[in-house]
Amino acid sequence: MAAEQRLHERAGTVRSFNRFYTRQIGVLHEHLLESPFSLTEVRILYELAHRPMLTSSDICRELGLNAGYVSRVLKGFEKKGLITRIPLPSDRRAAQLQLTDHGRETYLPLSDASQREVVAMLKRLSEPEQHQLIEAMHQIESLLGDTDSNYLLRDPQPGDMGWIVHRQAVLYAQEYGWNSEYEALTADIVAKYLRDYDPQWERCWVVEKQGSVVGSVFVVREDEATAKLRLLYVDPCARGLGIGGRLVDECLRFARQAGYKKIILWTNSVLIGARKIYERAGFELVEETPHHSFGKDLVGQVWSREL
């Protein structure tokens, strides 16, 4: 009985914290960030801004929302000219959703306002207190999240680049029998990125799961109008969680915001899993060339997508 009572006391503490935090971030206001949108509507706009080509089913699943409610919100967005629907070639009854130029212009001030509010909140704390707060948030997310599917997308840290080269060399040797030529290529790409990195035009994302690096991807500048996606990989222990698609979505979002008009990538026909991810993201095969590399006879492929 005492254990049951302690459990109820802890539940009361959690509820008290929830009330405190909702006041801090202002979610009880009828309209969020002094905008005409509710919290849920802004959350849906966020997903559409950061993950191109979602469907309404994706939004329902990701946010745990009722399909009827999401449908009403999306119809409202469509009437306001915020989104457009692109029919899926594989299923004409379904459609991918994309923010229009007006939609992006509407969302960006909301994102900026949210950033300013959080920055103002953090400024009230000292540097050590900020680190303590972030660490506490990570602990809450880790304890309450789905430990099997929970992962973190972050910027690279010291040591990550060497790990990326190592894991890619090991994985492609194990799965495809590629030799050290591929490790040399990967090392060259990573070294050039580190030497010539331009944050306006280039970006790397690292995926961390339970404290280990399990994936990464790069966007680099090919020319003034063209971005290039490079070195997408997901460790076998983290496959099946949608990480590859998420990384490609992040590349598309960044390339679009950077002002690129097109994004390309080079891969090989044997990498079937990666090719499926690129196809789902709207890339099209534009060139194929047989070659002998990494100790194997391969067919190189160039894929491209307009932004």
Contacts of 67 (CB under 8 A, 6+ apart): 56, 57, 60
* CA 51 centroid distance within chain: 7
pLDDT value at position 37? 82
Task: Specify whether 98 is located in the same domain as 192.
Answer: no
Q: What is the pLDDT of residues 109-140, one digit of tens each?
A: 888 887 888 888 888 888 888 878 877 776 67
* CA 268 centroid distance within chain: 24
Task: Specify whether 186 is located in the same domain as 244.
Answer: yes
Domain harbouring 41, CATH code? 1.10.10.10
Do 202 and 193 form a contact (C-beta atoms < 8 A)? Answer: yes
pLDDT band at 209 (very low <50, low <70, confident <90, very high): confident
Structure tokens at 306: 């307009």
Q: Has residue 21 got a pLDDT over 80? A: no
Task: Specify whether 72 is located in the same domain as 196.
Answer: no
Domains held by the chain: number: 2
Rounded to a whole number, what is the distance in angstroms from the first to the last CA of the chain? 61
Structure tokens at 167: 């894991």
Q: What is the pLDDT of residues 134-164, one digit of tens each?
A: 777 766 776 676 555 678 888 898 899 999 9
Range of the domain at 253: 152-306
